[in-house]
Amino acid sequence: MSVVLQAARPTAPTVPADVAAHALPAPAASCLPALVGTGLPVPLVDGTTVAHANLDLAASAPALRSVADRVAALLPYHASVHRGAGYASTVCTAALEWARTTVGRFVGARSDDVVVFTRNTTDALNLLAGAVPGAVLCLDVEHHANLLAWRGGEHRVLRAAATVDATLAQLRAALEARPTALVAITGASNVTGEVLPLAEIADLAHSHGARLVVDAAQLAPHRRVDIAATGIDYVALSGHKLYAPYGTGALVGRRDWLDVATPYLAGGGAVVRVDAVGDGSPAEVTWTAAPHRHEAGTPNVPGAVALATACEALDAVIDEAAPAHERALSERLDAGLADIPGVRTLRIWHDAPDRVGVHSLTVDGYPAALVAAYLSAEHGISVRDGKFCAHPLLARLTGWAEGAVRASLGLGTTAADVDRLLAALRTLVTDGPGVAYECVDGRWLPTADGRDTDPLGLGIGDEVTGAGRSCGH
């Protein structure tokens, strides 16, 4: 079954005068680290190509050039770490432990904190869930990673109020009402970009005998996270959002819970000794301490080095240059969106003390997935659409409609990217899409689409590239 949306006349997008008049000057980005893939040519449905405008950094950010270069330099030495006497193994062992120290330094770890390498933020939070010696309290605005990880034990989900102040008051009341071991909070919303006052929440949790874990997947690429300065007990983050898309994340924080918890994975590298009975089955296991207690198996050394290299590069710009660049672009985008009829931006708390460059919106009369398909096919702009793995929040903000469109900014974003998005949205609202689209098997696609979906020559067909993509996911 397919639903066809008829095309309107194609119109080349331009930045309207009223938008340009309100837009701020373009920020300078020359001091920011370079990214792989900048200027990537992408095909449009009309057969032309344009430079890619990647406004989907909140999902996964491209690699920093320094990250790609360091991983390439490491690969000739790639070997299994620890217990290896060979030179390459020695080099990789040293690189892995350098990465651990570097990641800890980047997030302001205390001297007795531990850095456990994981696959991503979701993995890190699930690891911590197995170590919490009591009840967990989180908000209903969380990404599923920080909403679902705690379901195996005692947990509560608190509905956030309309303001940050009211939400903190409700959090205080909830902590007073029932003993809680851990408060789990997002650092920055992956839907609205709004940032919570983490130091204040840490003090609140500690005053009621609880610890605080921060899901920093969206915060760490944009703002300084300092565990020691704010009193945060644990922080979880993902390399693929920190310009290090090589499959490694981290859980950083207090050692005591992790040293006594059941190992996250049982296997090699997590043990001091295994004694066997006569038939060879394990009789008694002596587990090692964290971090290795929770890192069984051969670690992802290139991923850990990539993550640490990204932290090293971001460390120089995360306090001033990167936030200034992003704030100027966000203000430019907000001003432009406010001038487009039928476009509504999503917010949780208008009194949030800060906001990173994550902007979600809806367009009257158009499903979010169709808007995203239009932006890609006709303008070479990548955004995210759907419910962003935050279903309870999207249900509140959109009423379980078609989800929303999310444009996310970062190091590689330019004023031209923002202006192109604004012009494309205005064209959609005033003239409609330039080609016809249909929803087939849950995917919005141009009815006639000759774009090459296999530029790597892997033999990938449409039945693979379309898998798992749905309208309103």
What is the C-alpha separation between 138 and 11, in angstroms, rounded?
47
| Model confidence pLDDT, tens digit, residues 323-374 | 999 999 999 999 999 999 999 999 999 999 999 999 999 999 999 999 999 9
Task: Find out whether 214 and 232 touch, Cβ atoms under 8 Å.
Answer: yes
66-315 maps to CATH 3.40.640.10 = yes
**CB environment 423-460: b (16+ within 10 A), e (fewer):** bbbbbbbeebbbbebebeeebbbbeeeeeeeeeeeeee
Cα 355–358–364 angle (5° rounding)? 120
CA distance 123 to 145: 8
Q: Is the pLDDT of residue 399 over 80?
A: yes
What residues form DSSP beta bridges with 287? Answer: 271
Whether the per-residue pLDDT at 4 is higher than 90: the answer is: no
pLDDT of amino acid 23? 38
Domain boundaries, the chain: 2-56+320-465, 66-315
CA distance 51 to 38: 8
Cβ atoms < 10 Å from Cβ of 174: 15
Please say if the pLDDT value at position 80 is more than 80. yes
Residue 463: predicted pLDDT: 56
Active site residue 389: yes
For residue 165, the tally of other CB atoms under 10 A from its CB is 12
Mean pLDDT of 394-419: 92
User: Containing H/E element for 372?
Assistant: helix 368-379
Judge whether 113 and 104 are in contact, CB under 8 Å: yes
DSSP string, 381-396: EE-EEE-TT-HHHHHH
CA–CA gap between residue 191 and residue 352 (Å, rounded): 14
pLDDT value, residue 440? 85
- Residue listed under structure tokens 């009341």: 173
- pLDDT band at residue 29 using 50, 70 and 90 as cut-offs: low
Question: What is the predicted pLDDT for the residue at 8?
Answer: 40
User: What pLDDT score does 152 carry?
Assistant: 95
Question: 10 Å Cβ neighbour count for 349?
Answer: 21
One-letter amino acid at 141 equals: V
**What does the mean pLDDT of the chain come to?**
91
**Residues 6+ positions from 94 with CB-CB distance below 8 Å:** none
Element (DSSP H or E) covering residue 282: strand 282-287
Bridge partners of 50, per DSSP, are: 42
Q: Who's near 83: CB < 8 A, 6+ residues apart?
A: none
CA distance 145 to 391: 12
pLDDT on residue 279: 79
Give pLDDT, residue 400.
Answer: 67
- Which of 322, 314, 318, 328 is closest to 27 using CA atoms? 328
pLDDT digits (tens, 9 = 90+) for 310-323: 999 999 999 999 99
Question: Which position among 92, 138, 311, 389 bears the catalytic label?
Answer: 389
Residue 465 pLDDT exceeds 90: no
How far is the C-alpha of 143 from the C-alpha of 126, rounded, in Å? 13
pLDDT of 21 higher than 50: no
What's the whole-number mean pLDDT along residues 44-62?
97
CA distances from 84 to 97, 302, 439 (A): 14, 17, 54
CATH number of 2-56+320-465: 3.90.1150.10
Percent of the chain with pLDDT over 70: 90
For the residues 37-59, what does the mean pLDDT come to? Answer: 97
Residues contacting residue 186 through CB under 8 Å, at least 6 positions apart: 139, 141, 142, 143, 146, 196, 214, 215, 218, 219
Q: For tokens 């994975």, what's the residue?
A: 265
Contact 222, 323 (CB under 8 A): yes
